[in-house]
Amino acid sequence: MNTTIAHAASSGRIELLVRQIRMEAKDIHSYELIDPDGRPLPAFAAGAHIDVHIAPNLIRQYSLCNDPAERHRYVIGVLRDERGRGGSKALHERLRVGDRVTVGTPRNSFELAAGSGKTILLAGGIGITPLKAMAHVLEASSADFELHYCARGPESVAFQAEMTAFAPGECLHYHFDGGNPANGLDIEALLARPVDGSHLYYCGPAGFMEACRKASAHWPAGSVHCEHFKAPAAAQPSTNARDDSACVAEIASTGQKIVVRQGQSLAEALQAAGLPVETSCQSGLCGACKVRYLCGDIDHQDYILDDDARREFFTPCVSRPRSGMVVLDL
């Protein structure tokens, strides 16, 4: 086994070299990361993301947007968000070509479905990043797909030259709204009649995500896939609020019982007990802390697991038992 990949598999982190930084659009930079010794990187599938360790206690998740067939580099696209939590701003201001940066190995909760018919990709702004990787895969396999890229204007379109080079013109559509979504793509009309076997993937800012969710609510179960950059605000706080009551987690392999205090996340309790539970986003968005449970009534508050996965797994950074005990397969 390649030593770089072996190290990554055992540690979950790798140190990479910033080979190139490009201005892709207004306030959007791409960062090309490579192994310092030129060795191949751990493979990833379209839709995957990595943790980028920007500074101590400052970790952010960014989607890999290059062709997954490439093993010599990772490319991420980062929008500088002045109203964000500081991660994107720090990357834009601190990271330079030639720097070393620690990243996590790729994780994926947004994979392309196998054997689907037509694929529709809907990107809002920087949400293009995971969908661009999907477009690479779909084009390489001669799949039937459409990529709709919604942005304020041409100045906000990232990777335009690259996408034009590999995606046929009939597949690639740009929609500019000038800052008013009513002037952009009619998402409701586009998604009004799903074709049998078709799948939808969408990613973008909160308003765009909500518009896509509403417009695709009538699509068949399992045919709609999305990825959030931020945890969306609860539409009905009274019924969707996290259950913070005290509970107990039992470790199936040892019988150890861990009390999770009111207001404490289950992930925090497990870490305090010395158990190997990794956390990153702490918002139920990345899957870093996903654990298997054997029994318990879980109040799922994540945004990545589907109904099938939730029968076996949950994300303890935001989810916990509704009451009583959960038995964990740790």
Mean pLDDT, consecutive 10-residue segments, the chain of 330 residues? Answer: 46 92 97 97 97 87 97 97 85 95 94 88 97 97 95 96 88 95 95 94 95 96 89 51 74 92 88 84 81 91 85 91 87
Count of beta carbons in the 10 Å neighbourhood of residue 146:
18
3-state secondary structure of 137: helix
Q: How far is 101 from 103, CA to CA, in rounded Å?
A: 6
Find the angle CA(193)-CA(196)-CA(303) to the nearest 5 degrees.
80
Q: What is the pLDDT of residue 169?
A: 82
**φ and ψ at residue 177, rounded to 5 degrees:** -115, -5
Q: Do residues 47 and 227 make contact, with C-beta atoms less than 8 angstroms apart? A: yes
Q: What token pair was written down for 183?
A: 């002037």
Q: What is the pLDDT of residue 287?
A: 79
Q: What is the pLDDT of residue 12?
A: 85
Closest to 19 (Cα-Cα) out of 4, 32, 7:
32
Q: What is the pLDDT of residue 63?
A: 97
Q: What is the pLDDT of residue 239?
A: 42
Domains recognised in the chain with CATH numbers: 3-104 (2.40.30.10), 119-228 (3.40.50.80), 239-328 (3.10.20.30)
Q: Do residues 49 and 63 make contact, with C-beta atoms less than 8 angstroms apart? A: yes
pTM: 0.80
Q: What is the pLDDT of residue 203?
A: 97
Q: What is the pLDDT of residue 31?
A: 98
Q: What is the pLDDT of residue 243?
A: 56
Q: Do residues 178 and 152 make contact, with C-beta atoms less than 8 angstroms apart? A: yes
Fill in the amino acid letter for 60: R
Q: How far is CA 91 from CA 26, 62, 239, 311, in A?
A: 15, 11, 37, 37
To which residue do tokens 């998740």 refer? 61
Q: Do residues 16 and 103 make contact, with C-beta atoms less than 8 angstroms apart? A: yes
Q: What is the pLDDT of residue 234?
A: 55
